[in-house]
Structure 1
């Protein structure tokens, strides 16, 4: 999870904010004038700014919208812009930038979040202030963070320009971020625990709920009638990312596992799964297990082995990262069934029933109440399942082959 932390250099610690800003690469800067120069919204009534202050801008995107912008501005002679948020709909990206003394800095455009703004739809953009960055959410989903290039204390004016209408702004002081909307609320993860005490045959095949037609790269608009999937789905019948799923507190314990079914995208870079406490981005949640496969690319362009990173966040910082280059059975365009198994003293990871790696507990797994998934995968289903014992043996169906005896 990307999040601001105290390890970053605070703007207040810089000797000269403008001097540090001018060290940025200015060659890539760009600026677009609007044919309608009048702001659609502007105000000087923003109050005193400090960490915890949140501004939420709502409105409707014009049916012919090309771009619009939200600007956090100084009221000096050059009308410096501390934060410029500029959605560009034809390009499907959102520019962030700063302007000092009529000079624009280096644009930031990257984000792991899919583009969530559509012509004719309403929007909600939240800008949350911390001491080291602005945090920006789109329609209730955390989008990105933008480090302060000039002090936010100098911001005295807000304006919205471009192809939007009915713009309103709400200023609040909040204890957590982002502000969740109906479409960004956590889903309820299905818990299939009724047969938890049953033993199973060693040769029993794993039940995969992914319908065959969904495995195709161009998924059809409808799924088969015999699919048992009951989760809310998007137009292509997959769970939308970023994915937040909620489980009953204290339900993740020894003898149970999280089962995640999906498909790797064709050109994957990475994805990650967090087993964490709460849905907040700020304050940073406790993360019992952070699993992050990062795909490598060979000289021929083929996707090779993955570097699998494991970590945990607690007591205000990340632990020592563990990483290994592994053959994970995760292949571009191929479906997978990934199980995160809660054993006696570790999380164990299996892909298509093959043991991949483990991560010793840093915090108790029963604190986990939220599953967060983001990155280069398409999701079909997430569920909490038992890890049953095999008949006549002292091992469970998912068991680490390194050990001769378990549990």
Structure 2
């Protein structure tokens, strides 16, 4: 049998944490929905789980169970458990092998809301190496296999949900989208460029002591951009030489990573062609200074990641901090600026005009995304020193 990388984490843990134990005991006494497979699953099989959340629901769990290593005390091994906890507004993922639970994967606050009394649907896709999980049309998590998926024989659902339906069929792309999760058009801002580090966030949002009534009145300013974010770059809004992508937002309080990808198409699986992927991962060691991050840059061409570049850098990106990221397209490369300072660059591996989709995913909140005219810093300083100068996108000076 092949050794699954994730399986090593299972032996590190023999019991659930107290909160998980509490919800486990409650789930055993709640309504159960049981579905069995008629044949072993293969990569490409997708499960569609539909249901309604009860008004008094605190949690529910979806178990993909196996017949391997079953005993009299526990009915099945569980290659994947998805546990939704509504009071805390997050989901867990875990595996149980021979009565031992692995290390639990937790999400940060959901980019969607599971609400009491509302319907929901999940898609769980089986690929060669991992589960892909989406909720209400939004990709949510990827979970690496800890045991063979061919052992899965059914799905067990427990907790405060009803009217459950489980469908399954093989798919060629993921996720299946509904109208509200389809990509919107990225705005194009033309005219005089703004300062590179200037943001559109109201100043009051930067203060900790903002009255709650003000937050309620301006809530939609921050929440109007859903995560993960997909933005369509139409033919007149391509990120080409002389333009920059402006992203304004805030890093979450407990970040692990986030990604900005310029790609072809909106699919998560199969992996689409990526012209440029910018991926800051935040260091977790006790000796790491706040804001230091591992910055990965790469491209996905012809079914493989190519020319990956990794750097450990001090940045203005940090837990809870607002940021302005500019991804500028030049003739031969992309340049990434954070709060007005050049951070990294990345040479083109394909024609930037072939990119038609912006994908942003991870531990950030966004309130502004647009494509705009780009001026490199020294030219921007010239326009401020000599107001009579006029610049075109090709960076020529005029009186």
TM-score normalized with structure 1 length: 0.77
Is the contact made by 2:40 and 2:151 (CA closer than 8 Å) also made in structure 1? no
Q: 2:217 aligns with which of 190, 213, 222?
A: 222
Displacement of 1:347 after TM fit?
Answer: 0.4
Distance verdict in 2 for CA 1:398–1:334, change over 3 Å: farther
Asked if 1:370 is matched to 2:357, the reply is: yes
Q: 2:44 & 2:55 partners in 1: Cα distance? A: 34
Query: Is the partner of 1:24 in helix, strand or coil?
Result: helix
Residue among 219, 226, 229 paired with 1:243: 229
* Residue 211 (str. 1) matches residue 206 (str. 2): no
Distance 1:46 1:325, change over 3 A: same
Task: Please report the TM-score for the alignment, with normalisation by the length of structure 2.
Answer: 0.78
Supply the distance in 2 between the matched residues of 1:150 and 1:205 (Cα, whole angstroms): 51
Question: Paired residue for 2:54?
Answer: 62
3-state DSSP of counterpart to 2:217: coil
* Aligned-residue offset at 1:309: 2.6
Is structure 2 residue 350 aligned with structure 1 residue 379?
no
**In the alignment, is residue 309 of structure 1 matched against residue 296 of structure 2?**
yes
CA distance in 1, matches of 2:109, 2:266: 16
Quote the offset at 1:190 in angstroms: 0.7
Aligned residues: 368
2:107 counterpart residue number: 111
Match of 2:184 among 171, 174, 187: 187
Give the strand-richer structure, 1 or 2.
2
Change beyond 3 A, Cα 1:359–1:119: same
1:388-403 equivalence runs, <5 A: none
Match of 2:279 in 1: 292
* Cα distance change of structure 1 residues 297 and 55 upon mapping to structure 2, 3 Å threshold: closer
- The worse-fitting range, judged by mean Cα deviation, of 131-140 and 31-40 is 31-40
Deviations 1:162-209 (A, max 9, x none): 11111111212211112223332222211234x5xxxx69xx856753
Per-residue deviation, 1:151: 2.5
Which structure 2 residues correspond to residues 335-354 of structure 1 after superposition, within 5 A? 335-354=322-341
1:116-131 correspondence runs (5 A): 116-131=113-128
The answer to which of 52-61 and 40-49 deviates more is 40-49
Structure 1, unaligned runs of 5 or more:
1-11, 224-232, 400-404
User: Which structure 2 segments of 5+ residues have no match?
Assistant: none
1:129–1:307 distance in 2 versus 1, CA, 3 Å: closer
| Greater Cα offset, 90-99 or 164-173 | 90-99
Q: Are residues 296 and 23 of structure 1, via their aligned partners in 2, closer, same or farther at CA, if it must alter by over 3 Å?
A: closer
* 2:215 alignment partner, SS class: coil
Among 167, 172, 181, the alignment partner of 1:170 is: 167
Deviates more, 1:320-329 or 1:54-63: 320-329
What is residue 41 of structure 2 aligned with on the other side? Answer: 49
Query: For residues 124-158 of structure 1, what are the alpha-carbon distances to aligned partners after superposition, in whole Å with 9 as ceiling and x for unaligned?
Result: 12111112222212222222223333322232222
Give the C-alpha shift of residue 359 in structure 1.
0.8
More divergent stretch after superposition (387-396 vs 363-372)? 387-396
